[in-house]
Amino acid sequence: MKSNLLLVNPPIYDFTAFDFWLRPYGLLRVGGQLRDCELTTFDYLVSRDRDSFGRGRFDQQRVIKPGPLADIPRNFYRFGRAREEFLKVLSGGRFDAVLVQTVMTYWYLGVREVIEDVRKLQPQAKIILGGVYATLCTGHAKSLGADHVLEGTDLTRLPFPLSDGLPLWERVDSHVGVIKIAEGCPFRCTYCSVPVVYPSFVARPLDACVEEVRYLAGIGTRDIAFYDDALLYKPDQILLPFLDAVLRQDLRVSFHTPNALNARFITPEIARLMVRAGFKTFFLGFESNDYAWQRKTGGKVYSEEFADAVHALREAGAAFIGAYIIVGHPDSEGQCVEGAIRFAAQQGARVMLSEFSPVPGTPDGDACRAYTNLDEPLNHNKTAFTIRFLGADRVNQLKDLCRTVNASIRSRLAATVF
């Protein structure tokens, strides 16, 4: 008899949350390998009021801030579908196991909610957690009451038959799709969790990646986001063959890059090919325009490389160019955040602040033990840590500066159109 499995993407408890092409890709890929089982899915994070790129807002309800975050001068919310909808699914049949995706370590309140409901209505079901939180905070995840907490990406530990298969897109709202053409990242930025979760950088088979895009296009998906952490690394071997295949098949989808691209690898030729293949949004990582600070935190990209990349993308006709600038980093002395904001804007990139989250297991995260209790994952919250480290007034000042420079960029672009 086939095992009856329920796959769940939990709600989010946080100060802010937005559907920035946020799809449960890991859970769907796992589901694609479990097609020999009876599968039911429940995705709490279905958005509405979507923009032209497929991004939107989640339903939200203001809730009481948990104790560890009581000092933060921001409202706290539960984001996602109503709890009652999930309870109806749990009441509708008997499940042998419930697989729960986890993402941000400080989103565990949503995971705990799911576990509580499953225990109440499906007490016989085995609860299995996997994903980022399960990997980075395994001990804490076990304390929530799950039966199994899977670290890393090895699915052979699942007690179910595995097979090859496309992600389980047909079971969720697929207005936006997601793709990864490689796992991991070859760089070792001192603030990033990717090397902890994915120790190796490995390209995925080209045919499998193209088939995923072809399938999504076939079911009507028009916006696809790359979840790669090093999309532009070894482009001749990975990205360019993928783009050539997409162009040959004339799939007519729009691609987006919510994970920061490494500007160092953007050449005029690569920029032109990406735009021709359907890339609409380019988000570049640019933590500082100070050379010493850039070098100290991993030397991912330097100012002249960033400027050259933005110029190449503008010349290629990119529809949107953005820059992530980290704020609240524990070693921010010498970073010169205001200078980085103004420099990125001068190049023509719209600036987005990336609030620092102290990820346990990373050098920069572990350094934050001097400032906060990392054993409580709620203290990893990016909004909370940044406000505590810099102060609310300073954070608001930097956000106001971003709004000012971005408004200036919009005005310049409008002037060039007319």
Question: Tell me, what's the pLDDT at 293?
Answer: 67
pLDDT (mean) for 18-47? 96
Side-chain-facing half-sphere of 145: CA atoms under 13 Å: 13
Contact 11, 81 (CB under 8 A): yes
| Residue 394 confidence (pLDDT) above 70 | yes
pLDDT (mean) for 4-25? 97
Question: Tell me, what's the pLDDT at 410?
Answer: 79
Question: Tell me, what's the pLDDT at 334?
Answer: 63
346-362: per-residue pLDDT in tens? Answer: 999 999 999 999 999 89
**List of domains in the chain:** 4-157 (3.40.50.280), 174-417 (3.20.20.70)
| Residue 417 confidence (pLDDT) above 60 | no
pLDDT (mean) for 374-392? 96
| Residue 199 confidence (pLDDT) above 90 | no
pLDDT (mean) for 110-118? 98
| Mean per-residue pLDDT of the chain | 93
Can you give the pTM of this predicted structure? Answer: 0.94
High-pLDDT (> 70) share of the chain, %: 96
| Residue 244 confidence (pLDDT) above 80 | yes
141-175: per-residue pLDDT in tens? Answer: 999 999 999 998 888 889 999 999 999 999 998 88
Confidence of residue 331 (pLDDT cuts 50, 70, 90): confident
High-pLDDT (> 90) share of the chain, %: 80
265-298: per-residue pLDDT in tens? Answer: 999 999 999 999 999 999 998 877 776 766 765 6
Question: Tell me, what's the pLDDT at 400?
Answer: 97
| Residue 24 confidence (pLDDT) above 60 | yes
Question: Tell me, what's the pLDDT at 310?
Answer: 97
Confidence of residue 418 (pLDDT cuts 50, 70, 90): very low
